Chains A and B, each alone.
Chain A
Amino acid sequence: MLADLLAALSFQAGYNTRIVLIGAVLLGTAAGLVGTFTLLRGRALVSDALGHATLPGVVLAFIAGSALGLSSRNLPLLLAGAAASGALAVWLVHLLSHHTRLTEDTAIAAVLGSSFGLGVVLLSVAQRLPTGGQAGLGTFILGQTAGMTEGEVWTMAGLAALAILASVALFKEFRLICFDPDFARGIGWPVQRLDLLLLALVVVVTVAGLQTVGLVLVVAFLVIPPVAARFWSDRLDRILLLAGLFGGVSGAVGAALSAALPGLPTGAVIVLVAGTLFLLSLLFAPRRGVVATLLRQGSMGFRLAVVKALSDRRRGPAAPVSGTVALWLRARGLTTRDGALTPRGEAAAERADRNLALWERLTRTDPNAIPDTALWGIDDATRVLPQATLARLREGTAR
């Protein structure tokens, strides 16, 4: 299996797997980019309703195609049906959440559930058709790349490339409506039309992804890479780059894994790969990751304990200190073997105590003035606090 996977990833597993891989990379990149904008615009789960709601459109298109005597799997027709019913669902969610007392979450859940229900009913109708062959529709639900024809792959790749190009071309416009829609409106930009355009791109990505990730899990492709990228940076251009990369890698590895393990639905595999990338980001991202946060908190706790131990000695009878703190003080040459302060220790203790007193005073008198980025009690207050705040503090001390 590992050999199959490597062969697929290194483009040596045959022509069909190769083009599926290219298509999956493009699709993942498109989903990462478009998903980032929808996430920042607060629309992350609208695409869940959209994805599920493509089912009735696909099945209706299939039934219509059969009635017209077209071949059982006319892809453009099926995708057009999917796009139409997906767009209708987005419009319904908008109507329900903006023009009634219902909230957006209720609107999404209601539209998602009942439109998928309609799709399932229509599927049971399609099963009765004399043309049969509705087996091909099942793969749209959880995704299956194994049976894709070359034409289908190029359709997916083309739609994904279109979404990538549009995201790049409209970068500035989308950035503004994500971060400051009021300002955008103020300078006369058509915010509502840009919002619609963004939703249209979500429709394009969803439709392109129907065969690969499937309609149930397409929302994951639009949400997980951007949320993972969010851990690494606060800058939109970097988030976009990383989200596109995460999406592309998930698509590639997922498609390759699914080629090696044909029994598994491709959508589930892709989502698990994206989930792994997400987990790695959650744990190991440099500033926001769990490991970095724990390390920072641990080291801050220790440094504060050192400061307090030093300052305690100047304030009266020394309180007992923990073993690690005592070891640290000795190793730095601040205390002697029996725990008394050395001359250097005296000087350090005096500095620490004066600094700590400033911080404590600030907390008592003006806690709102404590800067978010400063390390309380550890950083030199005279350096990190603004001059005005310091002057106020000193005035208080003198009085």
Chain B
Amino acid sequence: MTLLDFLQLDLPAGLTAVLASSLCAMLGNFLVLRRQALVGDAISHAVLPGIVVGFVLAGSRDTVTVMLGATAAAALAAVLIEAVRRLGRVEAAASMGVVFTVMFAGGVVLIEQAAAHAVDLDADCVLYGQLEDVLWLAPTGLASLLDPAALAELPRELVTLAAMNLAVGLLIALFWKELRITSFDPALASAIGIPAGLFHYGLVLLLALAAVASFEAVGSILVVAMLACPAAAARMLTDRYGRQFALSLAIGTGSGLLGYTLAGPLLLLLGMDWSLNAAGMIAVVAGAVLVLAVLFGPHHGVLAKRRARRMAGAV
């Protein structure tokens, strides 16, 4: 692997994977703490028809149109889920199951129709992502990392994800206390005048944007995995809100880095001329971290609890 290969192939693809992972890991905290992990699953599927319509209207992968389409689809999904839950008097999970699967199926059919009109999008890309298509052809050497002309050619997915990371990080910092109260104690939040509903829909909106920013590169399933696994692992390791957030971000970023390395560059270094699906590998690494956290978590881990029980029995 030459330096140029690294700059043109692995750097943009790896960075994109890591940024998608960190973005989802940040947002996932609030889902896991609110017991709404499945909302992430639902939204990441339900945005699909909006993405396709955005694609077709823009005639290309124009980020703004696609994001508008996805946001509209997410809003529609949120409204429909609530309507079905109330009118049908079924649990929220069942109502989600109806809405997101129908919207996803609609998206798949739309894709097949759009593909007939030569729109560059297919169902496989939605499920697994196309990390190998994230290329940065501009660099000619290390100096290009500081060259504005080359940097301007950074792949669109990478730039979008970086911007989303920044925006989500800022929003979370800005509303840190409110998010904490609405996540841990929604009743208290509304008692002291924090609009919990507004925060819920704000979160849904951010999820939709994150799902769109990530899906092209890493696919919708990695989004589901990275929304759930890092935050769940952090939940097994700590009770403190600040640490929960920091751990989840670290686990998400680390899984992204490790998963990407295991899937491609490591195999190359070992002299093999093929690679594995990086998005899938990142999900596997995040799942493995969760298993480790469940087993070895200091207070809530399975082994720690067993030891505590044995000690209590001995006394």
Contacts and interface: CB of A to CB of B under 8 A. Distances in A.
A42 B109 contact: no
Contacts of B128: 120
B284 interface: yes
B225 interface: yes
B276 A223 contact: no
A42 B94 CA distance: 8
A8 to B, nearest CB: 18
A227 B94 contact: yes
B37 A106 contact: yes
Nearest to B45: A216
Interface in B108-133: 108-109, 112, 116, 123-124, 127-128
B105 A217 contact: yes
Given A101-B236, A109-B228, A288-B87, A223 B98 contact: yes
A224 B80 CA distance: 14
A271 B105 contact: yes
B46 to A, nearest CB: 12
B279 interface: yes
Given A100-B300, A124-B276, A269 B102 contact: no
Contacts of B290: 110, 114
Contact of A117 (B84, B96, B112, B283): B283
B196 interface: no
Interface string A284-305: 0000101001000000000000
A302 B222 CA distance: 53
A240 interface: no
A105 B221 contact: no
A268 B108 contact: yes
A282 B81 CA distance: 12
A41 to B, nearest CB: 11
A108 interface: yes
A44 B127 contact: no
Contacts, number: 213
A125 interface: yes
A268 B109 CA distance: 7
Interface residues of A, number: 61
Contact of A223 (B36, B94, B229, B275): B94
A230 B90 contact: yes
Given A114-B283, A114-B287, A275 B277 contact: no
B35 interface: yes
Nearest to B299: A101
B266 to A, nearest CB: 13
A124 B101 contact: no
B32 interface: yes
Contacts of B109: 264-265, 268-269, 272
A306 interface: no
A217 B103 CA distance: 11
Given A113-B229, A124-B277, A223-B101, A142 B35 contact: no
A103 interface: yes
A278 interface: yes
Which of B32, B37, B236 has most chain A Cβ within 10 Å?
A: B37
A109 B283 contact: no
A201 to B, nearest CB: 18
Given A48-B97, A264-B112, A113 B87 contact: no
B101 A220 contact: yes
A231 interface: yes
Contact of A114 (B88, B229, B274): B229
B40 interface: yes
B272 to A, nearest CB: 10
Contact of B38 (A105, A121, A216): A105
Interface string B221-263: 1101111110110011000000000000000000000000001
B93 interface: yes
Interface string A123-147: 1110010000000001001100000
A99 B294 CA distance: 10
A267 B106 CA distance: 11
A180 to B, nearest CB: 17
Contacts of B300: 100-101
A84 to B, nearest CB: 18
Contacts of B263: 121
Contacts of A118: 280, 283-284, 287
A174 interface: no
B67 interface: no
B95 interface: yes
Given A106-B228, A265-B112, A288-B88, A116 B221 contact: yes
B136 interface: no
Given A112-B41, A227-B94, A282-B88, A267 B105 contact: yes
A375 interface: no
B101 A217 contact: yes
A32 interface: no
Most chain B CB within 10 A, of A52, A106, A125, A290, is at: A106
B302 interface: yes
B274 A128 contact: yes
B139 to A, nearest CB: 27
B89 A288 contact: yes
B235 A102 contact: yes
A142 B123 contact: yes
A227 B90 contact: yes
Closest 4 CB pairs of A and B: A117-B283, A113-B225, A114-B287, A120-B280
Given A44-B94, A269-B105, 7 more contacts: A102-B32, A118-B280, A217-B105, A227-B84, A227-B90, A272-B102, A290-B87
Interface of A: 39, 42, 44-45, 48, 52, 96, 99-103, 105-121, 123-125, 128, 138, 141-142, 216-217, 219-220, 223-224, 226-227, 230-231, 263-265, 267-269, 271-272, 274-275, 278, 282, 288, 290, 293
